[in-house]
Structure 1
Amino acid sequence: MKNIRKKALFIIDNVFYKGAFLKEELEILKKSDISKRDYNLVVNITKGVVQNRTLLDYIIKEHSKVKFKKIHKIILTILEMGIYQIFFLDRVPEYSIINESVKLANIFGNRGSAGYVNGLLRNLYRKKDELLESKFGLMDLYEEDKSLFLSIYYSHPKYYVDMFLKDKGTEFTEDLLKANNMEPPFTIRVNTLLISREDLRQILDEKGYKSQDTTMSKFGIVIENPEGIFESEEFKKGYFYVQDEASILVSEFLNPEENSKVLDLCSAPGGKTSSLSMIMGSSGEIVACDISKSKISLIKENIARLGIKNIIPTINDAEIYNDDFKDRFDYLLLDAPCSGLGLYRKKPEIKWNRSYEDIQALSKIQKKMLKNASKYLKPGGEMIYSTCTLTKEENEDVVYNFLRENNEFSLEKINGEEILKLYPSKDSTDGFSIAKLKRRTNGIK
């Protein structure tokens, strides 16, 4: 075993029960002396279990002789890992999966745990083909309760499934749920202050990277085989920043003119801020704010690598009105703190650590931030309100509520949409919502 599955067990336990982030846990592991092969196995198991938690638990509930609530959390995680490997990993022999699961149960369980794990996993392995063909016995549920079927089979919170079924229908919703469980493309944004997209692609291609231009952003490159990219000279020289295409587009839609004054209210880690600077040719002034000193340090670190000179990192709380900013800026970006439901592909643990109540609470914060932000724009100024989530509560409700209370602002369409929505299933990007607002020069309409 070499403790490989034990490492996976600890990571999943930290994510499910101790509030850890999967990406950070895996980054820590990667810096250890673990081999590439073993690391990839841990990634596959941990991400697979976190992504498919609802389905895995449903299988356990349906086939366990022990009541689900009575299963100790460590034994439950061992079962989740074993079931995921049996049904979703082709290259690992079933006998090895079961044996290693039993070893873990012997180490962490009480008397009888190993026999219980062994019996349940062997029973599921015998029924593997039958269960896969019947979608784990869920097919009858599809007609009875489509929302519940989709929630279980694709392991998504039911409120999330209900939200899209109501607004978009079954086909769109199922496509979105599938996409949320897939690996996202690896996208970089070219730093055109130092190099063109064409020249960077040529360099990367010569080094063996397979790349293609992004379809919507004129600054992005998708890399099929990014391994080692952070150790490359091009990264160290600041030729690019790793950034999803939707995130790149936020700055493009704001499109500030050169020599403008720009405010980025929630800037860290600085990806969108540096993109704004690039669009401005590093001219003018960008005040990049965050409430956290550590995040301000991260902004400074990123802009130093990218060779950017016109960004001023500033500690500021976007929830508190700052009179020093009043009527000062030509452009403003409010990429608001949000539920992050558009990031399921990259941060699957968000499925399990966000509730509908969290969304409602965040909506109140976002409304307060947008109200403050509006006072910082000059007459004629423009701002983007964006989130990496797709809920109406955090987007349409926030924006339209603001417009009802602020007649001096108008909503500018983006690609023909009042609030542009980008979806992993349709656009191959993170889930994003983007709205553009303009302060009229002649006051209230």
Structure 2
Amino acid sequence: MRLHRNLCFAVIDGLHQIFNENEYADKVVQQLLKRDKRWGSRDRGFIAETTYEIVRYKRLYAEIANVKAPYDRDNLWRLFAVWATLKGIRLPDWKYFYDTPTRKIKGRFDELSKVRKYRESIPDWMDSLGLEELGESVWTNEITKQNEQADVILRVNTLKTNKKDLRLKLQSENIETEFLPQHASALRLKERANVFRTEAFKKGWFEVQDASSQLVADFLDVKSGMKVVDACAGAGGKTLHLASLMENKGQIIAMDIYESKLKKLKVRARRNGVHNVELKVIDSTKPIKKLHGKADRLLIDAPCSGLGVLRRNPDAKWKLTPEFIDNIKDTQTEALHQYSKMVKPGGKMVYATCSILPSENEKQIDKFLTSEMGKAFTFVKDKKVLAHKSGYDGFYMALLEKINE
């Protein structure tokens, strides 16, 4: 592979924004890809994949390069040189690469790769937490898988089409996909592509949604005509899936504390042909109280550490803190207690996270069921998805039923 100066500069600029200005990697990469209209798909692919790879392995590369945060531009070039050397890419005769100790880089890599926290490039506290909660074998396998690039998975919008027709439509736009046997509405891209430019996307035939995430709406067991509340709807990936399962019949109340996210959901719903969704901002306790005892089904897609989706958000490894995880557990407990009041007798609710930690998942459910509020519910079933076993995002979901008084 030959390195091109303008592409490498884009990567360095992106790393500066992510590491030193604490910006989100996905947003930074989106901006970088719009920098030069002359760039083709291979150029954009190089920028995106290289940026993500260096973010993913920041600690390992920094240890090898012997640099520490905050990273000035010289240090960012050193990280880049480590990445290129380990990829077997010949470094061009640029000033940034003078005196790069190629042999030493490979030796340090072999040495550090024997230690999990360096090999998988994670903070000490995260390694200790994963080990404590999941044990040596599961944690080692899971964090290794979380460092792999995630597949692009689509969810067919059954309000407008079906899997077979969507596959053919994408094929006509030179995008090859395959069915996933265990996931009723999922298609996997055989090669990465910008699906958002396709006519199929503009027509609302699909949404990008990981296979594990697609399990959640199915788990809630919704039926046409029900009153369903999605209490932490965000931009609405699961809301839209629920709407398609309900065939646009009944009512979905999509709630969130962020109005900006619900505005995105409104746009997506219009494209998807979804018209049974009502949006409500949780700006006080009133919206919740008005729905006490009214919901046939409730989804609590709770805020969490996101340790099950590090493949998609590798910069989260460097943004997360132990304090954040402690605080988010309190938020989860509060959400279960407050939002569960919306379920009517005989109704059901699903508590879900994209975390792999039992303390955010099974233990939260156990704690809720032994609380005063939780005594009104019975445990039906749960499902834990680990990336190293499924090949998809790490997820947890638990189905509870409210006792019919």
TM-score by shorter chain over 0.5: yes
Could you give the per-residue CA deviations for residues 161-181 of structure 1, whole angstroms, max 9, x where no partner exists?
A: 334434544443332222111
Q: Which has the higher contact order (CA 8 A, sep 6+)?
A: 2
**Aligned residue for 2:266?**
300
- Structure 1 counterpart of 2:79, which letter? E
Identical pairs, percent? 27
1:251 aligns with 2:217: yes
Larger radius of gyration: 1
Q: Choose from 47, 52, 59 the match for 1:42.
A: 47
Matched, 1:408 2:376: yes
Alignment of 1:282-361 (within 5 A): 282-317=248-283, 322-361=288-327
Runs of 4+ in 1 over 6 A off after TM superposition: 318-321
Partner of 1:428: 391
- Residue equivalent to 1:393: 359
User: Deviation digits for residues 108-139 of structure 1, max 9, x if unmatched?
Assistant: xxxxxxxxx633x2x2x13455455xx2x236
Q: Quickly say closer, same or farther: Cα 1:206–1:40, change in 2 above 3 A.
A: closer
Which of 98, 114, 125 lines up with 1:118 in the alignment? 98
- 1:212-256 CA distances to partner (integer Å, 9 max, x unpaired)? 212332111111134242222211111111101111110010021
Q: Which residue of 1 aligns with 2:229?
A: 263
Kindly report the root-mean-square deviation, in angstroms, between the aligned alpha carbons of the 2 structures: 2.2
Q: Which amino acid aligns with 2:360?
A: E
Structure 1 unmatched ranges of 5 or more: 62-67, 104-116, 143-148, 415-419
Look up the match of 1:86.
85
Amino acid at match of 1:295: K
Distance 1:318 1:401 in 2: 25
Q: Tell whether the 8 Å contact from 1:9 to 1:77 is kept in structure 2 after alignment.
A: yes
Q: Contact conserved, 1:321 with 1:372, CA < 8 A, in 2?
A: no
Distance 1:428-1:317 versus aligned 2 partners, 3 A rule: farther
**Partner secondary structure for residue 262 of structure 1:** strand
Return the alpha-carbon distance in structure 2 between the equivalents of residues 181 and 33 of structure 1: 29
Cα distance change on mapping 1:171 and 1:126 into 2, 3 Å: same
Question: Which one-letter code corresponds to 2:404 in the other structure?
Answer: T
The question of whether the paired residues in 2 share the 8 Å contact of 1:181 and 1:344 is answered with yes
> 268-277 or 287-296: which moved more?
287-296
How far apart in 2 are the matches of 1:118 and 1:189? 48
> Closer, same or farther in 2 for the Cα pair 1:319/1:158, shift >3 Å?
farther
- Tell me the distance in 2 between the aligned counterparts of 1:21 and 1:214: 30
Check 1:363–1:128 CA distance in 2 against 1; reply closer, same or farther (3 A cut): closer
Measure, in 2, the Cα distance between the counterparts of 1:153 and 1:342: 18
Aligned counterparts of 2:170 and 2:10: Cα–Cα separation in 1:
34
Q: Say which is worse superposed, 44-53 or 219-228, in terms of deviation.
A: 219-228
Q: Which amino acid aligns with 2:52?
A: K
Q: Secondary structure at the match of 1:303?
A: helix
Shift of 1:372: 0.8
| Pair 1:361–1:261, CA change in 2 (3 A) | same
* Cα distance change of structure 1 residues 401 and 230 upon mapping to structure 2, 3 Å threshold: same
Alpha carbons of 1:172 and 1:319: their partners in 2 closer, same or farther (altered >3 Å)? farther
For the 8 Å contact 1:327–1:377, the answer to whether it is kept is yes
The correspondence of residues 158-197 of structure 1 with structure 2, limited to 5 A, is 158-197=124-163
- Contiguous gaps of at least 5 residues in structure 2: none
Q: How many residues align?
A: 398
CA shift, 1:22, in A, is 0.9
**Following TM superposition, by how much is the alpha carbon of 1:423 offset from its aligned partner in structure 2, in angstroms?**
1.8
Q: Distance in 2 between matches of 1:297 and 1:396?
A: 32
Q: SS where residue 399 of structure 1 aligns?
A: helix
| Aligned residue among 131, 135, 138 for 2:112 | 138
